[in-house]
Amino acid sequence: MHEEGAAYTVPVNAIAPGAGYLDGNMTFAFPKDVATITVNVTKFAAGGAGLVANFSMGDFYQQPGGKGPMHTITEGTIDIKITP
């Protein structure tokens, strides 16, 4: 997740375009529509010290181009706390 000013985005690259998740030994990392991914961050601390966010990611495929099994993630919460 990237933070720039007051905006938070999920990075997109050729390996995992936007976001992904694991379900057992299967990786779903290809969103049907990257524009549908939303992130609402309520806490963001530099260096990964803390992050709390609600997200909605929509439809994900196991393979690019809408191939393989599809899963839908409508909402969830990320809450990460790292302490030394």
Cα–Cα distance measured from residue 15 to residue 28, given in angstroms and rounded to the nearest whole number: 11
Cα–Cα distance measured from residue 52 to residue 75, given in angstroms and rounded to the nearest whole number: 14
For 67, the domain range is 2-81
pTM for this entry: 0.52
38-83: pLDDT as tens digits: 778 888 777 767 878 887 878 888 777 778 888 887 777 777 777 6
The answer to whether residues 22 and 11 touch, using CB atoms and an 8 Å cutoff, is no
Count of domains in the chain? 1
Banded pLDDT at 12 (limits 50, 70, 90): low
Beta strands, E only, 6-48 = 7-9, 21-23, 26-28, 30-31, 38-45
